[in-house]
Amino acid sequence: SSYDEEAQYEAIASSYNVGSLPKYGYGMEDFDQEFGAYMPTEIKPKILLMGLRRSGKSSIQKVVFHKMSPNETLFLESTNKITKDDISSSSFIQFSVWDFPGQIDFFDPTFDADTIFGGHCEALIYILDAQDDYMESLDKLHAIVSRAYKVNPNIHFEVFIHKVDGLSDDQKIETQRDISQRANDELLVAGCDSIHLSFYLTSIYDHSIFEAFSKVVQKLIPQLPTMENLLNIFISNSNIEKAFLFDVVSKIYVATDSSPVDMASYELCCDFIDVIIDVSYIYGMKEDNETSAFDSQSSSIIRLNSSTILYLREVNKYLAMVCLLREENFARQGLIDYNFICFREALQEVFGVRARASLVRERNQNSLSFNNSISKDWDGR
Ligand code: GDP
């Protein structure tokens, strides 16, 4: 029961002395072990992924969190059991994706809504196949949402209008309008108009699925406004056009400064991360372990012939900052690096991480030695 979880949390929290940390571990669980941050895994927030059979749930999960290429999903076997995919070990984002088979009957008395929607379930993503007739799916959406809301009114309801790669721009707008109107009308009729649904147009064949996931995840990070502020301060003091804080494994951005996000820049940053990861994997693997070669010492610069610079700095083993800036402003890289260190320290404070002073000092010294290419410390320190 939730009471037991509370008690368990308290016990774990006091034994690790993390009283000041946020209650749910938004990736701070292993946030640099050497900093002494610890977050019990039992209490991490859950994101549910639901939708009819063949709506694309497994594909989304594989593409976003397991780097499968969209074409390979054609051969995925359809989901026919409840699967829980735990992605906490490799990602900043501490959530589990629950994949439900489409044909589950939510009114079946054995269906344990309290366990599934209660507890720490914070977001429910409903996948709706836009290339199919969506009436049945809309009914299901209504049934799920109204049921879940009764159990837990704090859930964020997110509807992914999925597979929109087959639609023209006009059709996309029309589909979204139609679906949101029907879904909201139905809620209104049922007297559930206090339920708020958010809609996203998504496809695994472009970056829209990553963007949508980014927005969903950002809603679950209570420290987001502070992070945005820190990024604003960082870019204005460093003459940077745009900065994203990325979860490297999933390419979800957990925060960005408050200037508008332009899709092309976001895609560029995603591709940049792919390059870094690939190079790190090929040339930076440690012999005996499977973990990513991407670590706290990684950094990289790419100069584009449009006189734009892409600059990546590792924040911790899951998070990286990716900046877009004009070439002439990169002349003072020292300033940027210094500001970056300040940013990173502030971020760690935000998450209640008490850094050991000696370690920070040592890290700062390391970070000040600039690297003009992908750098990797071979003995892993
Ligand atoms: P699940 O039963 O909900 O897990 O659905 P699957 O993940 O097995 O997907 C069913 C089919 O939809 C697969 O053949 C996927 O290749 C396809 N699919 C998934 N996402 C997309 C998308 O964004 N666009 C298109 N065109 N097809 C997709």
Q: Is the CB of 54 under 6 A from ligand 1?
A: yes
Same-domain status, 177 and 238: no
Pocket test for ligand 1, best of 50, 52, 54, 160 (most atoms within 8 A of CB): 54
Burial state string for 80-119 with b = 16 or more CB within 10 A and e = fewer than 16 = eeebeeebbebbbbbbbbbbbbbeeeeeeeeeeeeebbbb
Residue of the nearest CA to atom 13 in ligand 1? 74
Is 288 inside a domain boundary? yes
Contact (CB, 8 A) for 26 and 93: yes
Same-domain status, 132 and 172: yes
Contact (CB, 8 A) for 70 and 63: yes
Last residue of a domain, one of 190, 219, 248: 219
Long-range contacts: 53-56, Cβ < 8 Å, 24+?
Answer: 53/78, 53/79, 53/80, 53/101, 53/102, 53/103, 54/78, 54/102, 54/129, 54/132, 55/102, 55/127, 55/128, 55/129, 55/132, 55/137, 55/162, 56/127, 56/129, 56/162, 56/163, 56/204
**23 DSSP 8-state letter:** S
Same-domain status, 136 and 239: no
**316 DSSP 8-state letter:** S
Same-domain status, 157 and 130: yes
Question: What does the pLDDT look like over 282-294, one tens digit per residue?
Answer: 887 666 555 556 6
Pocket test for ligand 1, best of 49, 63, 64, 73 (most atoms within 8 A of CB): 73
Is 20 inside a domain boundary? no
Residue of the nearest CA to atom 21 in ligand 1? 163
Q: Is the CB of 62 under 6 A from ligand 1?
A: no
Q: Give the residue-averaged pLDDT of 65-71.
A: 84
State which residues form the domain around 77: 46-219
In ligand 1, the atom with minimum distance to the C-alpha of 63 is 20
Same-domain status, 200 and 57: yes
CA of 297 to the centre of ligand 1 (A): 37
Is 7 inside a domain boundary? no
Q: Is the CB of 299 under 6 A from ligand 1?
A: no
Same-domain status, 178 and 255: no
Of 96-100, 156-160, 213-217, the range with the highest mean pLDDT is: 156-160
CA of 204 to the centre of ligand 1 (A): 8
pLDDT at residue 37, as a whole number: 40
Whole-Å CA distances, 363 to 37, 247, 321, 347: 17, 21, 17, 15
* 49, pLDDT greater than 90: no
Q: Give the residue-averaged pLDDT of 357-368.
A: 49
Selection from 234, 227, 246, 256 nearest residue 298 by Cα: 246
CA of 216 to the centre of ligand 1 (A): 20
Q: Is the CB of 73 under 6 A from ligand 1?
A: yes
Spatial separation of the C-alpha atoms in residues 352 and 18, rounded to whole Å? 8
List helix spans (H) across the chain.
2-16, 57-66, 113-117, 135-151, 169-189, 208-219, 224-238, 263-284, 333-350, 357-368
Q: Is the CB of 376 under 6 A from ligand 1?
A: no
CA-derived radius of gyration, the chain: 22
Residue of the nearest CA to atom 26 in ligand 1? 163
Q: In what order do the strands lie in the sheet with 242-247?
A: 252-256, 242-247, 319-326, 308-314, 299-303
Q: Is the CB of 222 under 6 A from ligand 1?
A: no
Please state the pTM of the whole predicted model: 0.76
Q: How many Å separate Cα 188 from the centre of its chain? A: 31
Burial state string for 188-201 with b = 16 or more CB within 10 A and e = fewer than 16 = eeeeeeebebbbbb
Phi-psi region of 358 (alpha: psi -120 to 50; beta: other; left: phi over 0): alpha
Q: Worst-scoring range by mean pLDDT, 42-51, 175-184, 242-251?
A: 42-51
Same-domain status, 362 and 297: yes
Number of domains in the chain: 2
* 126, pLDDT greater than 90: yes
Residue of the nearest CA to atom 16 in ligand 1? 74
Is 243 inside a domain boundary? yes
Spatial separation of the C-alpha atoms in residues 239 and 252, rounded to whole Å? 24
Is 189 inside a domain boundary? yes
Is 27 inside a domain boundary? no
Selected residue with higher pLDDT from 76 and 226: 226
Complex ipTM tops 0.95: yes
Question: What does the pLDDT look like over 155-209, one tens digit per residue?
Answer: 999 999 999 998 999 999 999 999 999 999 999 998 888 899 999 999 999 989 9
CA of 93 to the centre of ligand 1 (A): 24
CA of 73 to the centre of ligand 1 (A): 7
Same-domain status, 264 and 149: no
pLDDT at residue 294, as a whole number: 61
Same-domain status, 65 and 187: yes
CA of 210 to the centre of ligand 1 (A): 15
Spatial separation of the C-alpha atoms in residues 40 and 43, rounded to whole Å? 6
Burial state string for 281-319 with b = 16 or more CB within 10 A and e = fewer than 16 = eeebeeeeeeebbbbbbbbbbbeeeeebbbbbbbbbbbb
Same-domain status, 191 and 249: no
Last residue of a domain, one of 219, 250, 269: 219
Q: Give the residue-averaged pLDDT of 239-243.
A: 93
Give the CATH number for residue 287.
3.30.450.190
Beta carbons within 10 angstroms of residue 378's beta carbon: 9
Same-domain status, 179 and 228: no
Last residue of a domain, one of 198, 219, 240: 219
CA of 374 to the centre of ligand 1 (A): 35
Residue 196's contacts (CB-CB under 8 Å, 6 or more residues apart) are: 157
CA angle 44, 91, 225 (to 5 degrees): 70
Give the CATH number for residue 91.
3.40.50.300
Is 19 inside a domain boundary? no
Spatial separation of the C-alpha atoms in residues 76 and 91, rounded to whole Å? 23
Question: Is 44 strand, coil or helix?
Answer: coil
Spatial separation of the C-alpha atoms in residues 87 and 49, rounded to whole Å? 14
In ligand 1, the atom with minimum distance to the C-alpha of 204 is 23
Spatial separation of the C-alpha atoms in residues 168 and 93, rounded to whole Å? 33
CA angle 125, 131, 135 (to 5 degrees): 70
Beta carbons within 10 angstroms of residue 330's beta carbon: 20
Same-domain status, 268 and 181: no
Written as one string, the DSSP assignment of 351-381 is TT----HHHHHHHHHHHHS--SS----TT--
Is 78 inside a domain boundary? yes
